[in-house]
Amino acid sequence: MWPPFRSSSDTKLTMFVTDICRSVTLKFHEETHVKGVQAYSYLAEKTMLGNEEDDSSNNCFCLSDATTCLPSGGLNLSSCQFNAPAVVTYPHFLYADPAYAATVTGVKAVPEEHRMFIDIQPEMGIPMNVAARMQINIVFERIEGISFFDNITSRIYFPIFWFSETAQLDESMAKQLHLVTHGLPMYTTIGCVILLVSGVILMTIGFVIFLRHRKNKSNTKAYKQVQS
């Protein structure tokens, strides 16, 4: 959860992901609705997994050698995952340097299907629709003396699998959230208007009664003076 009462000027969401040992940042994209409830949509930035040429803040993920400095769009996980020759990218090498897909067939990146996003209800700070998507790739390189690798002429980033962890409000929760964010404020406003109008009416009635009482009292006093 995030602090409530967000505005569209809150342009970024940042969170730490333990599986890749780094923070990820999602940028405000648009106002949308999830099951009829208002939401702000945040997308993972295209340069989030970029190298220092695309994003200077990522220079700490490159240790200035050939094994850790990757083409833009991939993050070396070796120092995070027990020196495993693994690289994380977006699914189907979305937003990545063409070098990743050049040695692999069958990949086709579709942003709507492979991007990472979070939709947040701004008044409550509650995530309503989430999709965390990443791809795990194993690095293959030519190793002298091992015939199995003889046909490898350049580094290959071979996709092992990609995953999509998603969550969305169900209809029941959406109705409750709609009641809290729209119904209750509307009922509160209507109740305040009714109380205000009722108060004005009661004050008016009380003022009229006061004036009549004062007038009757004045008439009685004048009548007694005439009689005397």
Q: Note the pLDDT tens digit of each residue in 43-96.
A: 998 888 888 888 888 888 776 555 557 888 999 888 888 888 899 999 999 999
- The reported pLDDT for the residue numbered 34 is 87
- The reported pLDDT for the residue numbered 198 is 85
- The reported pLDDT for the residue numbered 134 is 94
- The reported pLDDT for the residue numbered 61 is 79
Amino acid identity for residue 37 in this structure: V
With beta carbons less than 8 A apart as the criterion, state whether 89 and 163 touch. no
- The reported pLDDT for the residue numbered 211 is 81
- The reported pLDDT for the residue numbered 44 is 92
- The reported pLDDT for the residue numbered 222 is 59
**Three-state secondary-structure class, residue 193:** helix
- The reported pLDDT for the residue numbered 70 is 87
- The reported pLDDT for the residue numbered 113 is 92
Residues of the chain with pLDDT below 50 are: none
Query: pTM for this structure?
Result: 0.72
